[in-house]
C-alpha cells in the first residue's frame, strides 16, 4: 500500500514537472560527464606515466673526438674516466635511485641508429666513429632523473646527460592542466545541478502545497511527506548518471580507443575498463548530490 502509493505520487509529480525533471537530468548528465572526464584524465596521466617511465632512461653520453663540452677537455673519454663514471654510478649514495646500468658501445649505438633511421638518408652518411659511447641508466623512480643528471653533467669524460623526462614533464604538466580544467568545469556544473535541484524542489513544493498541507494536517510523518521529493530528484539524478555513463563509455570506446589510439600510437590510452571503473562513482556522486540538496531544500521550503 505505502509503496504503491509513494510510486503513484512520484509518477504524478514527475509528469506534472516533466520540463523540470528533464532539465535536472540534462544538467546532471553534463556535470557527471565532466566529472567522469576528470577521472579519466587522471587515469590517462597514470597510464602514460606507467608506460613512459618504464621506457625512460637517463643517457650519459661520453666525449668523442672533437667534443667541445666542458667535461671533454681531454678529448675522447679515457678508460680511467669511464671507470670513474661507472664507480660513481655504483656508489652507495646513488643506490636509492639507480636500478640498472648498461654500457652502449659505438658499434651498438651505430646499430640502433641504423635501425631507427633505416628509411632516412641520415643513416647513409654516419660512420661508427661518429656515434658516441654512453651509459644507459634505468632509474628506480623515473621522476627523480634530475638527481642523476645533475651529478654527471660536466663530469670529466661526459659530453651531455639526456633524458626524455624533460619532454614528458611538459606533457604531463599539460595533461594535468586538462585534468584540472575538467575538474573545475565539473565543479561549476555540479554547483549548477545542486542549485537546480533546490529550485526544482522549491517549485514542486509550491505546486504541491495543497497536498503537503493536507498531509501535514492529517498527521503524515515528515519523512513520508518529503520522501516523494527526495526520490524524484534521486530518480532524475540516476537517469542523469546513467546517460553520463553511457556517454563516457561511448567516448572512450569510439573516440579514444577506435580513433585516437589508432592514429596517435605513441602511448597507450585509457580503455573501456577504466571508464567502467568510473561509472559507479558517477552514480554515487550524482545520487549523493541530488539526495543531499533535495534534503537541504526541503528543510527550507517544506517546513513541517
Partner 1 sequence: MIRFDDVTKVYPGSKHPALNSISLEVSKGEFVFMVGASGSGKSTFLRLALREEKATKGVVRVSGKDVAKLSTWKVPHLRRTIGAVFQDFRLLPNKTVFENVAFALQVIGKPRHAIAHTVPEVLELVGLAGKEQRFPHELSGGEQQRVAIARAFVNRPAILLADEPTGNLDPNTSVGIMRLLDRINKTGTTIVMATHDHEIVNQMRKRVIELEHGNMLRDEVAGVYGYSR
Binding site for partner 1 (CB under 8 A): 1-2, 5, 210-211, 213-222, 224-225, 304
How far apart are the C-alpha atoms of 243 and 197, rounded to whole Å? 18
How close are the terminal C-alpha atoms of the chain, in Å?
23
Angle between helices 18-55 and 2-16 (to 10 degrees): 90
Cell readout for 213 is: 498541507
Question: Toward partner 1, which CB reaches closer, 16 or 100?
Answer: 16
Smallest separation, CB 301 to partner 1 (Å): 16
Smallest separation, CB 234 to partner 1 (Å): 20
Smallest separation, CB 205 to partner 1 (Å): 16
Smallest separation, CB 1 to partner 1 (Å): 4
Question: Toward partner 1, which CB reaches closer, 3 or 266?
Answer: 3
Smallest separation, CB 224 to partner 1 (Å): 6
Question: Toward partner 1, which CB reaches closer, 66 or 219?
Answer: 219
Question: Toward partner 1, which CB reaches closer, 1 or 19?
Answer: 1
Smallest separation, CB 221 to partner 1 (Å): 5
| 230 backbone dihedrals φ, ψ, rounded to 5° | -65, -45
Among the listed residues 236, 237, 229, 250, the one whose alpha carbon sits nearest the alpha carbon of residue 285? 237
Smallest separation, CB 214 to partner 1 (Å): 6
Question: Toward partner 1, which CB reaches closer, 1 or 264?
Answer: 1
Residue with cell 504503491: 4
Question: Toward partner 1, which CB reaches closer, 4 or 265?
Answer: 4
Question: Toward partner 1, which CB reaches closer, 147 or 220?
Answer: 220
Amino acid at each position: 500500500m505505502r509503496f504503491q502509493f509513494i510510486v503513484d505520487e512520484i509518477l504524478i509529480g514527475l509528469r506534472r514537472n516533466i520540463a523540470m525533471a528533464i532539465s535536472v537530468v540534462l544538467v546532471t548528465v553534463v556535470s557527471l560527464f565532466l566529472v567522469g572526464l576528470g577521472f579519466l584524465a587522471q587515469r590517462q596521466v597514470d597510464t602514460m606515466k606507467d608506460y613512459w617511465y618504464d621506457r625512460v632512461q637517463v643517457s650519459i653520453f661520453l666525449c668523442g673526438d672533437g667534443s667541445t663540452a666542458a667535461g671533454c677537455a681531454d678529448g675522447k673519454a679515457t678508460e680511467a674516466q669511464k671507470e670513474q663514471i661507472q664507480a660513481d654510478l655504483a656508489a652507495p649514495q646513488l643506490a636509492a635511485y639507480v636500478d640498472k646500468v648498461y654500457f652502449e658501445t659505438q658499434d651498438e649505438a651505430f646499430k640502433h641508429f641504423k635501425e631507427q633511421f633505416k628509411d632516412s638518408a641520415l643513416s647513409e652518411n654516419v660512420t661508427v666513429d661518429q656515434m658516441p659511447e654512453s651509459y644507459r641508466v634505468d632509474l628506480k623512480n623515473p621522476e627523480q632523473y634530475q638527481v642523476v643528471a645533475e651529478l654527471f653533467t660536466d663530469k670529466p669524460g661526459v659530453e651531455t646527460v639526456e633524458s626524455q623526462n624533460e619532454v614528458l614533464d611538459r606533457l604531463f604538466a599539460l595533461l594535468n592542466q586538462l585534468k584540472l580544467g575538467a575538474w573545475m568545469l565539473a565543479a561549476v556544473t555540479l554547483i549548477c545541478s545542486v542549485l537546480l535541484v533546490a529550485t526544482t524542489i522549491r517549485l514542486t513544493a509550491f505546486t504541491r502545497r495543497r497536498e503537503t498541507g493536507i498531509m501535514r494536517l492529517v498527521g503524515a510523518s515528515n519523512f513520508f511527506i518529503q520522501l516523494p521529493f527526495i526520490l524524484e530528484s534521486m530518480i532524475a539524478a540516476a537517469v542523469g548518471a546513467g546517460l553520463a555513463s553511457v556517454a563516457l563509455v561511448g567516448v572512450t570506446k569510439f573516440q579514444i580507443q577506435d580513433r585516437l589510439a589508432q592514429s596517435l600510437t605513441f602511448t597507450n590510452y585509457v580503455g573501456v575498463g577504466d571508464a567502467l571503473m568510473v561509472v559507479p562513482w558517477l552514480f554515487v556522486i550524482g545520487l549523493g548530490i541530488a539526495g543531499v540538496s533535495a534534503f537541504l531544500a526541503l528543510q527550507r521550503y517544506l517546513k513541517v
